[in-house]
Amino acid sequence: MEKLSPLQIERLKYQPKLPSSLSNGINSLEMTEGSATQSVRDQEQIENLFKNTYGKPVVTFKASSSSVVPEVRNVGVILSGGQAPGGHNVIAGLYDALKQANPNNRLYGFLGGPSGIIDGKYVEFDDKFIDAYRNTGGFDIIGSGRTKLETEEQFQKSLEVCRKLNISAVVIIGGDDSNTNAALLAEWFVKNNANIQVIGCPKTIDGDLKNDQIEISFGFDTATKTYAELIGNIERDANSAKKYWHFVKIMGRSASHVALEAALQTQPNITLISEEVEEKKMSLEGIINYICNIIVKRADMGKNFGIAVIPEGLIEFIPEMKSMISNLNDIMASLENDPDFVNATTIRDKFDIVENRLDPANAKVYNSLPALIKGQLLADRDPHGNVQVSKIETEKLLIEMITTRLDELKLQGDYIGKFNAQSHFFGYEGRCAFPSNFDADYCYSLGFNAFALISFGLTGYLSSVRNLTAPADQWIAGGVPLTMMMNMEKRHGEMKPVIQKALVKLDGPVFKQLEENREDWAMNDRYLFPGAIQYFGPSSVCDITTCTLKLERSKELASV
């Protein structure tokens, strides 16, 4: 028998809370429909691509006094994309709702992500299987993957597997790209009269899959609390040793929600926000000067230490870097089969080939970078043909450039301090942590609610649970059409329908909270030490939600 830690044993016992509308029973629900919806942008193109699933209404559920026993149903579930704390509870909630609806219902888990439904690799869940994974982190229950569902052949194979297992609904648990897959699959199934529903669940620790109906994606709460604990530990160390500047790169490629939330929880001396850098058109030199100005001022106070938090995707938001990377992505696609590039004997030969292909202004930017960063920019692309920014050591780039700038200032007599830097990247540390109480409850509710959407015959919907700053029994369960969140974006040189990422709003209450305090935090050490995620104890410690959610919801509630 596998040995479990004391925490594992206790977490397996935890019973997640549900919205009152769902806790009354999955077979005792009423559905209310709102008005027709439209996509966030590019309405004509999106409607044309999703003729059968576009314009559906937002729906909400409430408890009903009547009850029905539905027919037997088989459902498939897929974990897609990067891990996020709570994924196991989505499956547990889905399983419990499905079995509550009819004990003869079956739930199949497709192995290794979307490829599982294409290749027909699956497991059937039972009570013992599910019970071993309740309230645990990770996606190891069935594994995950990043295969895109977009071709006719993939759709046809998925249909064949579903028919073999008599599956009438598929739940895809994933982020914006994964739920774009869900929308495409839902449309294809309807178009081909497959009678198979597709429901999505909003997952990503990045926090960029949200709108008025999706207040936050699951995993964000746990991941940011995990990162905040680590940053708090480093702050305590920095304040003890008083001799190091720590540069912490943190998850969040396309949006800076994670960095912003971690900063509000820990109050570091410097926090860069990618969206602000882009809005203000801050150059790389400008960023270096901004950081050096704070370092110099702190040194004048006798403080040769500090903490800087940097979002993972920063490099793509710096205007000259963004232009160069966009140009580089297009060039790298053409160089994949170029014999001169593929067979180049040294990395410097590859640098020369790339620089000769880049536009002159972009070539100048590329040439100015350290060799380490230039090489990382040529690494394998992600599935969308873009540079993998998690592999770009932005924190080391900044440290190298800051060191050079401070040396110049020292020669000019404008800097008297000592600069010793440490670099960190917090990414995988937060993706598979034991889910917080919030994420355990939220994820279980999302899965339970996904089966409610299935029960009412809906397809092309995203499971939605909102009013999340209230106690769980006051949460509102329902669904939002996936097409409502979509727009057209360029991928691999072609315009494709994708779910629009929600970026940090610079005029929103969350960023304003940082903006109002950053000068004070820069010079005065207002470090907060949130500590480890708490599962047991007073509600004021165990049941707090993120600063992001509290600030966003307080503004919304104030306007009601």
Structural domain of 385:
220-431+508-554
Which CATH number characterizes residue 205's domain? 3.40.50.450
Cα 320 versus chain centre, distance: 26
In a domain, 493, yes or no: no
Residue 386 has pLDDT above 80, yes or no: no
Query: Rounded to an integer, what distance in angstroms lies between the CA atom of residue 239 and that of residue 307?
Result: 10
Both 136 and 240 in one domain: the answer is no
Query: Rounded to an integer, what distance in angstroms lies between the CA atom of residue 244 and that of residue 560?
Result: 47
pLDDT for 105-138, tens place per residue?
999 999 999 999 999 999 999 999 999 999 999 9
In a domain, 166, yes or no: yes
pLDDT for 4-50, tens place per residue?
999 999 999 999 999 999 999 999 999 999 999 999 999 999 999 99
> Is 206 a catalytic site residue?
yes
Q: Is the dihedral of CA 105, 110, 113, 117 positive or negative?
A: negative
pLDDT for 351-369, tens place per residue?
999 999 999 999 999 998 8
Predicted TM-score (pTM) of this structure: 0.94
Both 233 and 329 in one domain: the answer is yes
pLDDT score of 68? 82
Q: Are 105 and 136 in contact (CB under 8 A)?
A: no
Query: Rounded to an integer, what distance in angstroms lies between the CA atom of residue 364 and that of residue 320?
Result: 10
Query: Rounded to an integer, what distance in angstroms lies between the CA atom of residue 166 and that of residue 196?
Result: 10
Both 104 and 213 in one domain: the answer is yes
Both 305 and 424 in one domain: the answer is yes
Q: For residue 275, what are the CA distances in angstroms to 189, 315, 334?
A: 38, 11, 30
Q: What tokens does 558 get?
A: 């104030």
Residue 1 has pLDDT above 60, yes or no: no
pLDDT score of 237? 98
Query: Rounded to an integer, what distance in angstroms lies between the CA atom of residue 209 and that of residue 13?
Result: 30
Out of 96, 176, 177, 206, which one is annotated catalytic?
206
Least confident segment among 58-62, 88-92, 381-385: 381-385
Both 318 and 263 in one domain: the answer is yes
In a domain, 374, yes or no: yes
Domains: count for the chain: 2
Specify the amino acid at residue 548. Answer: T
In a domain, 294, yes or no: yes
Both 310 and 259 in one domain: the answer is yes
Half-sphere exposure in the Cβ direction for 23 (13 Å, CA): 12
Least confident segment among 98-102, 316-320, 512-516: 316-320
Both 208 and 245 in one domain: the answer is no
Both 192 and 237 in one domain: the answer is no
Higher per-residue pLDDT: 336 or 256: 256
Both 264 and 358 in one domain: the answer is yes
Both 157 and 269 in one domain: the answer is no
Mean pLDDT rounded to a whole number for the chain: 94
Return the DSSP state at 165: T
pLDDT for 392-424, tens place per residue?
899 999 999 999 999 999 999 999 999 999 999
Largest CA distance in the chain: 81
Least confident segment among 271-280, 324-333, 445-454: 324-333
Which CATH number characterizes residue 512's domain? 3.40.50.460
In a domain, 50, yes or no: no
Rounded to the nearest 5°, which phi and psi values hold at 90? -60, -45
For tokens 């960190």, what's the residue?
424
In a domain, 466, yes or no: no
H-type alpha helices, 211-346: 220-241, 257-266, 274-279, 284-300, 319-335, 339-342
Both 134 and 249 in one domain: the answer is no
pLDDT score of 81? 95
pLDDT score of 555? 66
In a domain, 490, yes or no: no
pLDDT score of 227? 98
Both 403 and 536 in one domain: the answer is yes
pLDDT for 60-73, tens place per residue?
999 998 888 789 99
In a domain, 474, yes or no: no
% of the chain exceeding 90 in pLDDT = 87
